[in-house]
Structures are given as C-alpha cells and as structure tokens.
Structure 1
Amino acid sequence: MADLRSTTSGLPIGGGKMGQLIREKDWSKTPLGNPENWSQSLRTTLNILLASKFPKFLWWGSELTCFYNDAYRPSLGSDGKHPSILGMSGQEAWPEIWHIIKPLMDKVLDNGESLWFEDLLVPIYRNGKIEDVYWTFSYSPARDDDSKITGVLVTCAETTQEVLLKRKLERSERKLRLIIQQAPASIATFKGPNYVTDIANANALELWGREAKDVLKKPILEAIPELKDQGIKELLDDVYKTGNRFAASELPVQLLRDGKLETVYINFSYEPLYDANGEINGIISIGHDVTYQVMAHKKIEVNEEKLTMVIDATELGTYDYNIKTKKLDGSKKLHEIFGLFAAEDLDHASFVSSIHPKDLEVRKAAFERSFESGILEYTSRLILPDGSLRWIEVKGKVYFDEDNNPLKVLGTVRDITSARINTQKLEESEQKFRLLADSLPQHIWTADTEGNLNYFNKSVFDFSGFSPEHLDREGWLAIVHPDDRTANIKAWTESISSGKDFLFEHRFRKHDGTYRWQLSRAKPQLNEDGEIQMWVGSSTDIHDQKEFTNELERLVVERTNELAQNVKDLANMNKELQSFAYISSHDLQEPLRKIQTFSTLLLENEYENLTDDGKEHFNRMQNAAKRMQALISDLLAYSRTSIAERKFEPTDLNKLIVEIKMDLKEELAFHHAIIESDELCTINIIPFQFRQLLQNLISNSLKFSVKDREPHISVTSEKGLGREFNLERLSPTINYCHIRVSDNGIGFEPKYSERIFELFQRLHGKDKFRGTGIGLAIVKKIVEIHNGYITAQGKPNQGATFDIYLPEN
C-alpha cells in the first residue's frame, strides 16, 4: 500500500495505469470537484480499488461518478468506454444497460443490501459495438465519513467465455444424446460404480423390453434384475476398474420382455468413460440384437441336416468333381451305387472305367453340352465289380471361373435300374389299358396338355366309320355336328386354359350319316406337382335321354300355358333356383363316389402292378377326385348362402375378427402374417354369413401373398351417409357401414375388378395358387343378401383392397 498513499492533492499514488489517469484527470469539472475536498472514505475506497488484482468498479456520489481499476479495464474492450467513462456519471457512461443496473444500485443505496449475481447477461458497448457480455459480480454499499451510503462498489469478473463454453458443451451433449437416440445400435451409458443408467436410446429400451422411466437414473442391475446372475456385473466391474474394453459376439442373454423370459443374442461392447481429470467415471455400452441372425444360422444348420436326411432318403449319391484336377469326392451312397464299400477308392478314372463302353460317347456328349449350358444330364449303364449291369441317371451343375472356363461339377447319381425295368411293365400296362378301353361300349379318348386328341378307342371308329388315318387328317371335329362345333371348341378351349373338367353335350355323326347326342366328360391327369400331364375323356350316348328330355320339356311348356293364370306364383320359384347349386352339388357326388370306390379297388388290388408312370397317373386321378370333392364343398357353401335362414342381429365385428384369428392361427403363424384392425363398428348382419365373408377375404390374402414378404392385412370400418362415399350405387340419405379389407399380396390387374367376383373365376394358374374360384363369389353373394355393395381394387404385386358398403339397418 506504500505506493498508494495519497498525494498532497488528495489523489492516490500508484495504482497502475488507472491510478495515473485518475491523477491526471481534471476533477474540478466533475460533480466530485477538487480532489483536495474528497472525503477520506472515497480516498480509502479508491486505494482499495486500485490495489486489487480483481476487477473492481466504483460508483460514487449523487451522480454515481465512475471509477475502475486496471484489472477491470480489459472488460471495456479496445474501442469503447475506456478511458472516457472515468469520472463520468453512471447514467451517461452506461446508457445501454442503465435500465438493468440502476434498479440494482438503488437496492444497495436505499436499503444497504449487498447483491450477488452469477453469469448474468449485461450487454455493454465495447470494441465499437454492443456486445453480449456475461458477468459474475457483487454490489456492496460504499459509505462516506459519516457512514452514509454514498456509493456502490462492484467486484466482478467477466464470465463470457466460460458461459459460452458451458453452452457449447451443453449443445455438444445434446447433440451427442441426439446422435445416441438416433443411432441404429442399442446404446446406453452408465455412471459411477453402481452403473446408474444416464442415457438409453430407443433401441436399447426395445432390446431390454423396458420403458425409459423404468431404467433411467437407476442402477442398471436394479432396473434389469435378471442380469445379476448372468455375469454382467463382473464384466462391468472389470471395465470400470481396469479401463479395458470388453467385446462379445452372439452372447446369449436372458431378458424379461413382455412378461416372458427370452434368450436374446447380442453383439456388444463395454467401453470406459473418463471425466476431465482422466478418471473413469462411467461405461458406454454399444450393441446389436443379432437374435434373428443367430436363429437363422441355426435354422440353416438344421436345414442342412434335413437336406442330408432327404438326400439319404431319396437314395441319391452325391459327388463333387474338380474338372482341372480330376479329383472326385463322392458320398457313401455313391460308393454303394458303384458296388463299392465306403472305404474303397472311387476316383475319376474308376468312375469312367465303370461306364459301359457303349455309353462312353453318351457321357462325352453330355459333358460337351454342359460346358455350354451349365447343366450336366445323362443316363448310362454301369458294370459293377461282380459283372452285373446297373442303370444310373447322372445330373449336375457346372461352375465356371471368371473367364468362363469350367471348374467343377456338383451333382447327384441315381440308380434307375428299377425304373428301366418298370418301363417295359408300363408298356405292357398301357397295352392292357388299350385292350380294356376297346372293350368298353363308351367312346374313350385322350389328349395332350395342349388339348390335342391323340388316342381314340375302337368304339369311336366303329361308331363313326372313320379310319384312324381319316381322323388324323380331318381332326376329331369331323364327327361333331356342324351346329355344335363352335360351342364345342369354346368349351374345350376354356377347360384346357383353366384346367377345369370338361363337360359338354353334343351330337356325333354315326357311320350311317345320322347324329346321336353324346355327353362328353374329360378330367386332367396331374403329376405330384399339380401340373397337367394329359386329359382322359369319355363320351356316352345320351340320345334316348335327350329325346325324352325334349319331349318332357314340350309337355312342361304345354302345362305352363295351361296354368298361365297362376303366373304370379312363379316368383316363388326363385327360391328353388337359389337351391339349384346345392342340389346339383349333391348330385355331382354320386359319380365322384363311384370314381373313389373304383380307385380304392385299384389301390388295393392292382396298384403294385402299375408302372411308376401308371402309379403317378393313378395318384393324379385320386388328387383330381379330391379337388372335385373340394369343388363340390364350395358349391354347397355357395348354395347355402342363398337358402340359409336370414336372421339379422346386431354384431360386433371386432369379435368376428378375434374368432377368425383363432381359426386361422396356424396359417397366420405359417405365413408370419399380421392382421391389423381398428376399432370396428357394430352392425345389423347375419353373423355366421358375415364371419364367412371376412374369413374368405383374409384367407385369400394369405393364399395370394408374395413370397418372402410377410402378409399384412388391414381391416377398417367407418359409418356415414351414402353421399359421403361418392358411389352411384349407394342411396345418398341412408347410413352405411363401410368396411375395408386390404393386403400387400400379389394383387391383380385393375381390368379384372368386376370379373374377380364371378363364379369359378381364377386370375392365376392353379399350379401356382390353389382354390376353386368360388370364394369371392360367396363373398359377393353374402354382401347382396345384406343389400350391400362390394368393390375390388388392385395392382399387380401391390396388394388388393375390398370395400364393402352395408346399410346400417
């Protein structure tokens, strides 16, 4: 303090730059006047202010004249208030913030309060502009010689950089939290030795099966107690204590999710977190749920085991042949086919040497073709070590390098000796079939998959008088009446296109030039994959029945004319017409039962005598009978919708959806399908019929789903006046319930939106999608029974939508 003693003029000595400026200033022109007249309290306060290394400011006197020290001066900037405000009144010096600081000073001056503020924004003019400046400061009363509060002493520190840095850190932390929340991985941070959960993103919460409120600000082992006995704490402790990172792949962890303990497989890591002093203060966990991948790998392993079992069960030998090195690796079954033990060598040379000499050229030609097509396929004879012969069928796929040079062949070898032996038996069986067909009085004929007739039994030639050469030249239409040919061709073409049974009445020309009515039937013969292999048909003479029917119809007409006065009663016949399909379906079952009865007899007595192809044809016949049974069942269902009792009652559609989900539980699970339904309305309907309607639509969505795309079926409803739905078919003043069923399946061409509801209509081949083409016809029939209206919309591979509008009452 020696250098701050007062001069004879009353001004302090020393005090740095500001002390010098105070001494040099002409104070007589200020409200404080000549320093010689300043009070001792002011001098003492100035000595304290100038001697302090901490920023200080003083307002003194009635005008609150400004003083400040060297430590405060940098806060005023390089082009601002310094040094002009020294000795200036407070209001004149600080006009831009006077409205902020004057009320604070009044509290000090009037009440003697000492005030403290931290990181307060007080903008000031400096560096040629108004700047936002943050301060931590105190206001203290400064008293004169009479202990009267005469000024305000400010002790302050500019904290602008600290505040801005703090805000930057906060923004950075918010950004980090946002990044963590949006990250595709499961990320969480745990603070302290108790591992209190500080951050957990949505993926982490989903993985744990918890909500944020269940885990945040809680020790993770308390929030997820099932982790305690799984070694997780030991892993966390090791990372926290040693700083060593921990990582694991496909680690099985049991988590309680949706009330059920599940095993989840995780790829994750634990990393230490450090504070500003470099000390570990937490752990960050980053992980991915790989349960699906792990289960997929396990499924692949199971499938590979199944494939091995299937190959073993199909009696196929497998091989891997390296074309460049001539190395051949074969399965145990391949050794057996070649008459060798598994321990015996079967190299390429011994493979070739076992081929019958006359078949070597066949093998060579097959390999040459395979180098072009990539597919190897041939049959040949083997000479076994004991000298016996065996027929084999060789198939394979050729793999090429980047230059399209063949590298290796992977494939199978099948012993077809029995099949070759059975070929002769098949030919004998076919001869028996021809003999049997020729012995029947009916006309028997067959056709290929294109509908070309390629066989007629003897009865056809005897009846028509035509020779086989004549029919080959003129075609089978030569025996059909000219008036029946156009309709005959149309019906036959439709059956060939759709795969449906052919049934047609037409007239055949007899050798004497007369025509007799025939009922022709034909059924497709399918292979095990449901593909048509051929058609087998018969034509039965119904001329006498037809004549009788015509006469009966004539009598009916006469009788109808006689009863013309009762024409009003004919309206009741509509109900009988509605039951026609039902009765017809029952009648169709009689020939079907005969087919099934004779099939059973063949199965019990002749099946083992058939060739493989014969057995295949027989199996196709049985499958066709089963499909016929399904068709009849659907016809019965269709007819029942017309004749069933129509008892309407208020029905909650939500309950129907629940029942349908239970009925289709296995099919939904098989397709991994999701049925999403809003809160559906309650409406006056026939419950069992409408349940059938919804089940038909949902079943169609499953049936016509896209491969490798999980079916998503949506059912919604809304109520409104007809005019709100903008459909001409709806009455504008009637309340309707609009029910929409949509899916993400294969869809259909928009041009078929009307045709799709027609009876027996199929937009897709039956080899791809099963069904009878009746389901949507039933749906439309039920809607019509409810006095409603239905539309369909769709696009290929973009799903289908069905909109149903039912009157509310």
Structure 2
Amino acid sequence: MKLNSAHKANNLSFLENSGQMGMLIREMDWDNSSLGPIENWPVSLRTTLAIILHSSYPMFLFWGDELICFYNDAYRPSLGKEGKHPAIGKRGKEVWPEIWDFIGPLIKEVVTTAKPVSYSDQLVPFYRNGRMEDIYWTFCYSAAFDDNGNVNGVVVTCTETTETVITKRELQESERRLRTMIAQAPVSIAIFQGKDHVTELANSLALQMWGRREDEVLGQPILEAMPELKSQGIKELLDDVYNTGKTFSTSEFPVQIMRKGNLNMAYLNFSFEPLLDLSGNIEGIMALGIEVTDQVISRKGIEESEKKFRLLADSLPQFVWTANPEGNLNYFNQSVFEFSGLSQDQLINKGWLQMVHPGDRKNNFRAWEDSIATGKDFLLEHRFRRHDGEYRWQLSRAKPQYNDEGIIQMWVGSSTDIQEQKVFLDELEKQVQERTAELLELYESLKKSEQRYHLMVEEVQDYAILYLNPEGIVVNWNTGAEKIKGYRADEIIGKNFSNFYTEDDRKSGLPKRLLGLAAKKGKALQEGWRVRKDGTLFWASVVITAVHNEINEVIGYSKVTHDLTVKKESDDALKEKQAELELKNIELQKMNKELQSFAYISSHDLQEPLRKIQTFASRIIEKDHDTLSENGKYLFKRMQLSAERMQSLIDDLLAYSRTHNLEGDFERINLNLIIEQVKQDLSEELLQKNAIIQADNTCMVNIIPFQFKQLFYNLISNSLKFAKPDEPVHITIKNEYVPGNLLEGEYFQENTKYCHITFSDNGIGFEQKYSEKIFELFQRLYGKTEYPGTGIGLAIIKRIVENHHGVITAQGELGKGATFHIYLPVAD
C-alpha cells in the first residue's frame, strides 16, 4: 500500500501549484473516461499538461482521438463568465460546435503533418457570456507527441486581440474621415513637414488658390514649388512658426501668385499652426486659408463710391442721411450738422430724435418703425430744431435699397425745409368743416392751395446731379437731371454744361466764372433762369462744388440743380393770402373755444331732461304696471336701458372733459391708499365676482388723488366687466422703481426715475393688434349687449396718465387676460 500511495502521489506531482484548472483536473472522475484513471496517464500527457498549467500565457490542449480539452488559468477568462467553462475533459467537437468548421481542419492538418499553424488577428467568433461574440485572436496550433513520439494532440498557444483590432480599425477610420474632411473643407488646407516645409497634403481649394496641380507640389518644399513666394516674406513666417511653435494668422494679406504663367495679386486670409508629434516636438505646419481677393476689390470699389456719394451729398442744401436695414441712422450730410449745431457723435450716441419736436416724436417713431417692418417708403412731415432753438417744419422721406436677392441693404433718406409752405394748413383742414358757407368756400380755396403746396414739395425733392470734368464737360447724368432739363443721358454726356444756360448768360461768361469761383473757394452758388431742351425757361438754384484729388488738384466738379419755379410761384401766391389766413386763424381759435364750452355745457344740460325721462319711466312702470301691455312693458324697459346707457355716456364724457386740465393739487401719496378706497367703493361688485386683488408695496408718487382714484376705479371695473363667466376674477398690482436709462423709447428721460405699475387680470383679454386702439374714444372690441360700456373708460385712463407726464401701454392675449404698464416720473 505504501508503494502504491507513493507511486500515485508521484504521478500527480505535475498538478501541484497548477492553479484552479489543475485543482479541477485533480477532482474530476476520470475512471470512466477514454483517458482512464489520472495516475495511468502517459508521461507525455502529464508533461504537456505540466507545461500548460504552469504557464502564465493562455494555452489550450486537444488530446487523443476524441480531442479531449484541457486549458490553464490564463486561458480561463477567454471563455467568459457564462458559456463553455468548465470544458476540461469534454470532446473538442462538443465544446466548439459553432467554430468546428474552422478549427477542425486546422487540428487535422497539425496532427497529420506535425507542422505548426499560426494566425494573427484572426476573427474566430464563439459563444460566451450568454451570446455569440466576434473575437479576434493571434494563435499557434502545434503538435503534441505521445510517449512513442507520435502526434497525439494539438497545443494551442493564443492571446485575444479584439480590443487591439477594434482600436486599429477606429484609427484607420478616423484617419480616413480626417482626410475626407480636409478634402471637402470649405477652406484651403495644406500640411508642410520638416524644416524645409515639404508639402505632405493639400486639398483641392489649396491647389486652386496656389494655381498648381497636385503632382507639382506634393513631396516638394513649398517654396521650391512656388518660388515666387520667397521674396514676399512667406519663408520667414513659416520658419518662425516652425522654430517658435507660435501660431501666425492674418487677414487680407497681399501676395503675388504665379497662375497660368502670369503673376496675379491676391488677398488671402490664412493662418500657420504648428503640428506636434507624440513627444510634443514640432514636426510640421498646417496652413489654413481662404482667398478674399474679390471681396477686397469690391470693398475698395464701394469705399471709392461712398467717397463720391458723401461729396455729392455734402454739396446738397437738403438733409441727406442713411440707415442700416434695422433702421439705425449711420450717416448725415454736412447740412444736418450746420442746421442743428450738433456733432456727429451727439447725433449717433444720443439719437436723431433729439432734433425732432417732442410733440412729433411719437408719430415719427411709429412711422419709421412701420417702414422698417414693412419695407414701405417713409414719408412724414415733422418739426426739426435749428441750432438757434427755432423749430422748422420738414418733409422727410426715405427709400429702401435692395440687393439682387430682394433683401434690404440700407435706407437712403432726405429732409427738406417746408416751413413757409406749412402756415396753418393742418389747423384749417380740421376746422373748416364746422364753418358756414363762407368758411366752406375758404376751405375749398385752402384745399387747392394745399394741393399746389404738395406738388411744389414734390418738385423741390427732385434735383439734378451732374459730374463735370475740369473743362466743364458732362461726365455723369442722373434721372433727376433728365426730368428737370429734358435731355436723355446719351444726348448730353460729353457736351459742355453751358448748354443749360441762357444765351445772355453764355455771352457774359457766367458758366466759366462759376467754375472758376468753385475752383478758388471750393463751392459756387447761384440762382437764375435756365433753358430746358424744349427751349422753355425754369428758375433754378445751382451749387457747384470742386472735387480735388489727394494732392489738392481740381479733377472735376459736382453740380446740383434744383428747379424752384413752382416754389417761386407758390411763394408769391402764399404772400398774397398771408394776411387773410392770419385773420381766419384768429376767428378759428375763437370758434374752437366756443365749441369746447358748448360741449361741456351741453353735457351738463343734457342730464336734466335725461333724469326726468328716467324718473317718469320708473313711475309709469311702478304705477301702471298692470295696465301696460307686454309690448309696452318691453318698450319701457328698452327706454330705461337706453337712458342708462346715455347717462353712462354723459358721465364718461364729463369725466373725460375734466381730464383735459389738471384738477386739484398734486400730493405725495402711497398708491395703496387710493387702491383701498377703490376696493371699498367696488366691494359689492368684487364680492359678486369672487374677485381677489393682490397689491404689493406701492411707490410714493406725486399725483392728483381724485384722478388716480378714477384711474384705478376704471381699471378694476374693466377687469370685472370683461371677466370669464366661469372663473373667479384675479387682479395683480405690482410696482417697482426703474431708472429711465433702462427703459426703451423716446418717451423716457435718462436722468429720471419712474414708478412702473403693472396691472394684470385673468379676464377674456384681447388681441395684441388692438393694444393702441383700445385707448381711443368710443372704441369697443365687443358688442354692447355682451359687455356694456361706452368705450371711454380707457381713454380717460390714458388722459390721466398723460396729465401726470407718464406713459401707459397695454398687452393682451385672447382668452388669457390683459396687462397694463403705467410709468410715472418720480421726483427725488
């Protein structure tokens, strides 16, 4: 027994310290297997297993005719968490059925030939971790010999390379995408390697910009492929980037490039960026660029055209200005500065509205915004402040300028002084309908005068602009000149401008003297008769301005002609009517006062008969109710409702008339006190509507308490009136102090603090397009039967806010309530 035990122990010594797989082999029952008891295994098998089990490299053994499977601890992870393990002691074909078509022939070849078979990064998918996986292997199948020296198995030495293969493929795909991206990039890209800047890569845009083929530059130092660059500083730039590692970039760099045998000037935006190897050392340079030659040439042409435009504009007595597509003014001609006394910085920084009369600013701003939004021509009469403080009426117009795609690029506008022509025409138009037959006759006369005035203004707007060479020959001719003088451009260009002067002026040498005066003093002004193509005469104002080059030599003249014939005739007619108009104006002012008194007294006197109608109707209903027919009761009810609506209308008219003037003294008061009084007055209505009013700590403001009580009364009443029938009324009143410089709009003063009151409700709301209409007298968005009222309440609110020098705006959304914003100036 001792000898057998010792022998058995000696036979199993190859499994000592052989890891988990050695322990698994030791514990398995081999008696009923084809190999028999483990202690009877041939020496060659035990030796081979000893080598495999004690190796730290993944190894697998197929042994015997049944190709029994063995493997070591290093191979165990390759079988996965779920799958083929434990496979020791099983037949190879049973363990690897899914890949036996691949490995079976390999094993047979090794057993037959005793020659090893190896593969690198070979895809051998098999089942593990609960599924089939694509797995890449580097492996070697070699022969395993039995005790007699015959091949009796195959030893597999392997390592899994899946991650390496995937990583390598990703790198190859990344490089492919990079090269594709470079080739398709919208800018030129090139890579130069080494200190000699050898061209390694250049995309199609780079080759196009260089004027070279790919075979002319690739593998060549760029300065040898393009020798014209050597003397233009490119070598120094490349050397500096390569030696210092600092990126260089520039815009509109001028460089001469040899293209199709000729040196062409090009302008380039480009950058040189260093390329680093894995050690952080510079190995090359990447060049990125784009040619902007066309843009630079176009911009220079535009700058030259703009210079001529400004010169011509500065010679005009009219105001000329331009704006960007958003409506921001960015240029004014010299006449604007001379008239206003303001500098360009003052006009740009503080805005052009500072020139406009405060009473005209709202309409001015609204009309300008409408033109910007719609692209329609801007046309407006308004008053501008002159440098001496006098306001003078101007007629301003602007037209949008479109590009080829129909997009607005800029606005060009002009303003013309029409002070003498204005003279009370607007006031006469408003009052003439209320006058007697005598005034109607005067109205017709004034209407004809107004028509003549507008025709005159249109003529004043048309001006002829010519450009003359130093000898007075016409070089350029605009459409205004064609309209005024009757010549087409092809009929006059190339001829002397003296053709437009009368025979007497030409004989006296007037045209030549005007050119001499312009050359000497820079500008020549003259008025007189001129001759059209058809021989007729017209009275014209002429401004001739000398055009100088950079060394102050006269290279030509700009000539601007205004046809003043109609204006001269209109001026004469207006002078004759001036005295009559002044008398009529006094009479109209007296009539206006009488009309105001009549409206106020009538509103009061109408209430007495209205009260009697209401009283008598109520008595008849009470005393004769039983004797009246149903139709009679219905008619009396209609009469009472009509009387009530008329009473509301008279009350609102009286309230509105009282807001024309400031009633009562201003008091510094907390608005919460006013709001609480209104809540008490409307307590029953609030309770009926289940209304909730939330008001935070309000501002301290200087107001007329009576008027602001009426303001909040009307606002809260409106919210109750236009409430949703199935939802409690919720009103929120918030406020905050806001500096004027943070508020947008010409109504706000930068150095003034404002109390911003926000009044919101959850009623039926309104469409935003009616946000201004609702403040007008008698304006209603809903029917009288559905929502009663006179359409005066919000007009009263607006008048009260304006009495306090404030601003009110409205926001609404149908079905989602309304919000009113009130801004009141607050004195420190």
**TM bracket, shorter-chain basis:** 0.3 to 0.5
TM-score by length of 2: 0.40
